[in-house]
């Protein structure tokens, strides 16, 4: 049995955190491959090493002196090395990094050094082999991630090592030029390693005990989610619940490998399991609630719209022409509404409106701004009658006016549009009716 373990930045921000990670790894011999992030924040007002590297590199590009910021970055690692009493020095590494910064090796190279150096420290601390991600994570010439080559390279390399540290977040093109994933991308590396070694489990260690049913900034001490399917997670993370990088799901999902989100600071907590499918009934009818503010509804009316073939396409073409992606399109007999992100829409508003007039010739168009979307997600909703009824009566009791309703045919989610000002109240009301009353 193989477990791949990825530790996030806050789990490796100091010597003390490194020790916790070490204890976790040593507690289970199956934890064979370790993916570290760069050191994150030690406290609320701290700066992540990745951000320090980006800043330092920008200074190098501007021709400014980088001695002082580089010294601060080095101090972060030395604090860990000394705290762990390791017999190693990164002095030579920092000489190379300084040189490469001055040669303008690229901001991806700069940012990747956070994980690279932390990987060297981790490998030394654990006394196991270090595999540079540049050798095994591959991007093609145009900068696209090359999944097949990566899987081959990784699989071959890992088959020869029993235990290893592979730094997260970056890889390289064939010519050796370093490239990173988007921010938070160490999650992806962990997933790729899990896929390549056909792991039984991908443990993702972070600073929370898994997913919560709702945002703790809105709901006080929300319940945790024990098991969530990939599909449910996708719905929730799209709507703003973020613990795991979105792209980390795909490699393990293809192989049917579950992910366990765990808390480095509370390792005994079970955390959340992300699985392909499960016959385990969710604890509550709903698995989670998430949402976002800042939408505009573009309401379009036209008599006999219903029988006009291609009307929807013409309207959506107006958005496409303006390169605006739409979120939802609830419709009536002679009405058609398009929900778009307010920020994206505002600058292009008049151009979209004239395009709709030109393409679809509607009778009228009305805009309604400052709306929020709330997604109620749960595999349990399919088999439970009355879910929608409970949602809407809870909202009515809380005096929330519902502007839009959209239930996907999979019955996995119900999306509700409300005013921005009602957003928190709506989430609280839904949480109360499905969770608080069931405790
Ligand atoms: N260190 C990188 C970041 O801060 C990648 C990661 O932590 O996953 O985004």
Q: Which two tokens stand for residue 235?
A: 């719905």
Pairing of strands 129-130, 413-419: unpaired
**pLDDT of the residue at 18:** 98
Task: Determine if ligand 1 sits within 6 Å of the CB of residue 10.
Answer: no
* pLDDT single digits (tens) 77-97: 999 999 999 999 999 999 999
**pLDDT of the residue at 107:** 97
* pLDDT single digits (tens) 173-232: 999 999 999 999 999 999 999 999 999 999 999 999 999 999 999 999 999 999 999 989
Pairing of strands 288-301, 364-377: antiparallel
Average pLDDT over residues 163-172: 98
Q: How far is the CA of 69 from the centre of ligand 1 (A)?
A: 19
**pLDDT of the residue at 207:** 92
Query: Could you give the CA distance from residue 260 to residue 205 in angstroms, rounded to a whole number?
Result: 8
**pLDDT of the residue at 241:** 66
Task: Determine if ligand 1 sits within 6 Å of the CB of residue 48.
Answer: yes
Angle at 165 between CA 162 and CA 167, to 5 degrees: 145
* pLDDT single digits (tens) 276-301: 888 887 888 899 999 999 999 999 99
Global pTM?
0.87
Atom index in ligand 1 nearest the CA of residue 187 equals: 8
Ligand 1 pocket: which of 57, 186, 205 to mutate (most atoms within 8 A of CB): 186
Average pLDDT, the chain: 95
* pLDDT single digits (tens) 415-437: 999 999 999 999 999 999 999 99
CA–CA distance from 211 to each of 13, 241, 285, 425, 430 (Å)?
Answer: 22, 8, 16, 21, 17
Average pLDDT over residues 9-30: 98
Q: Position of tokens 């292009």? A: 348
Average pLDDT over residues 126-133: 98
* pLDDT single digits (tens) 100-116: 999 999 999 999 999 99
């Amino acid at each position: 049995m193989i477990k791949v373990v990825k530790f996030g930045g806050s789990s490796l921000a100091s010597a003390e955190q490194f020790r916790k990670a070490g204890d976790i790894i040593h507690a289970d011999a199956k934890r064979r491959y370790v993916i570290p992030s760069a050191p994150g924040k030690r406290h609320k007002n701290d700066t992540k090493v990745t951000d320090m590297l980006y800043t330092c590199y920008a200074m190098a590009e501007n021709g400014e002196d980088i001695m002082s910021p580089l010294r601060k970055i080095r101090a972060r690692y030395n604090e860990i090395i000394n705290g762990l009493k390791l017999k190693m020095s990164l002095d030579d590494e920092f000489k190379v990094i300084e040189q490469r910064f001055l040669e303008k090796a690229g901001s991806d190279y700069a940012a990747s050094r956070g994980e690279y150096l932390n990987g060297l420290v981790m490998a030394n601390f654990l006394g196991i082999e270090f595999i540079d991600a540049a050798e095994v994570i591959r991007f093609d010439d145009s900068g696209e991630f090359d999944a097949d080559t990566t899987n081959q390279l990784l699989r071959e390399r890992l088959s020869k090592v029993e235990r290893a540290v592979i730094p997260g977040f970056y890889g390289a093109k064939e010519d050796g030029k370093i490239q990173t994933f988007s921010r938070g991308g160490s999650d992806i590396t962990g997933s790729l390693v899990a896929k390549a070694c056909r792991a039984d489990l991908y443990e993702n260690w972070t600073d929370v005990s898994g997913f919560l049913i709702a945002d703790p900034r809105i709901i006080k001490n929300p319940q945790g989610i024990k098991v969530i399917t990939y599909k449910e997670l996708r719905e929730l993370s799209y709507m703003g619940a973020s613990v795991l990088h979105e792209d980390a799901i795909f490699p393990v999902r293809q192989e049917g490998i579950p992910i366990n989100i765990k808390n480095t600071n509370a390792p005994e907590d079970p955390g959340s399991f992300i699985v392909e499918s499960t016959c385990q009934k969710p604890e509550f009818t709903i698995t989670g609630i998430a949402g976002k503010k800042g939408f505009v509804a573009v309401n379009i009316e036209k008599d006999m719209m219903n029988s006009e073939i291609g009307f929807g396409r013409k309207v959506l073409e107006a958005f496409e022409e303006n390169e605006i992606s739409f979120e939802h399109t609830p419709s009536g007999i002679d009405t058609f509404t398009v929900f778009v992100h307010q920020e994206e829409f505002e600058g292009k508003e008049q151009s979209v409106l004239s395009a709709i007039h030109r393409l679809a010739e509607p009778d009228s168009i009305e805009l309604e701004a400052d709306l929020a979307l709330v997604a109620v997600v749960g595999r349990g909703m399919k088999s439970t009658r009355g879910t929608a009824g409970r949602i809407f009566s809870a909202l009515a009791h809380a005096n929330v006016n519902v502007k839009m309703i959209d239930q996907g045919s999979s019955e996995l989610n119900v999306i509700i549009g409300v005013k921005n000002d009602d957003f928190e109240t709506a989430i609280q009301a839904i949480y109360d009716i499905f969770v608080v009353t069931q405790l």
